[in-house]
Amino acid sequence: MKGKILLLFFLTMVLSACQNTNQSTAELTPDVRSTDNGTESKEITEGQADTDQNEQNEMLSMSIGYYDLTGEFYDEMLRNPIDHDYEVEFNEFQNSKEFSTFGWRALVSKYTEEWDKELNQVYKKLLSKLDQEPKEALIKSQKEWLKHHLSETEFVEKAFIDNSYLGSQGLVSLETVIMGRIRERTMQLLEYRHLLDGEVEFVYQSKK
């Protein structure tokens, strides 16, 4: 029971968005993704995908679009191609006979990498558009965000993952939280770019 409660806790951490990876992010970021295999199981309840999407939308309302008062940026984020393809692929996988905890984690990891690529791209684009003082401030901000991101991941790994406290699904929970933090930071930087030049550009192109 305790493990299930903690699992739900980690999944809802994505909602709280922790306010604040791949060496290319500001040339600062080591790879933080875990690669251990999880034990296969199928414990996703009916309607989980719809719940996940609703939670993502609620997270957006809490953490994205503070500065763009027109609402245009928020609407763009609701339609972003990475979330769209993740939802489609998750729904297909959830209802397939091949479903497993290991496969679920691999799917989350796949889209974590896509968000990481977007983070790298928009960070570099922002740096190219800023004057020296705001550029230095952004570099400092990104370093602080990265420090928190890696420290938080390390804590959860040492406290709950390395000792198998959460079981195999703990690995899925951790990967989901990592994706959520990178996703939110990417959207924050995308909003800053939108304020500067009105652009919302994703490197990722929808495949679904």
Predicted pLDDT of residue 28 = 53
Q: Is residue 117 part of a domain?
A: yes
Q: Is residue 106 part of a domain?
A: yes
Predicted pLDDT of residue 169 = 87
Q: Is residue 205 part of a domain?
A: no
Q: Is residue 204 part of a domain?
A: no
Predicted pLDDT of residue 37 = 38
Q: Is residue 66 part of a domain?
A: yes
Q: Which of 138, 115, 113 is nearest to 193 (CA)?
A: 138
Predicted pLDDT of residue 147 = 98
Domain count, the chain: 1
Q: Is residue 16 part of a domain?
A: yes
Predicted pLDDT of residue 167 = 84
Q: Is residue 193 part of a domain?
A: yes
Q: Which of 195, 175, 193 is nearest to 102 (CA)?
A: 175
Provide the residue type at 148 as one letter.
Answer: H
User: What domain range includes position 118?
Assistant: 2-197
Q: Which of 58, 35, 52, 145 is nearest to 90 (CA)?
A: 52
Q: Is residue 207 part of a domain?
A: no
Residue 154, burial from CB neighbour count under 10 angstroms (0-12, 13-18, 19+): exposed
Predicted pLDDT of residue 38 = 37
Residues of the chain with pLDDT under 70: 1-63
- pTM of this structure: 0.74
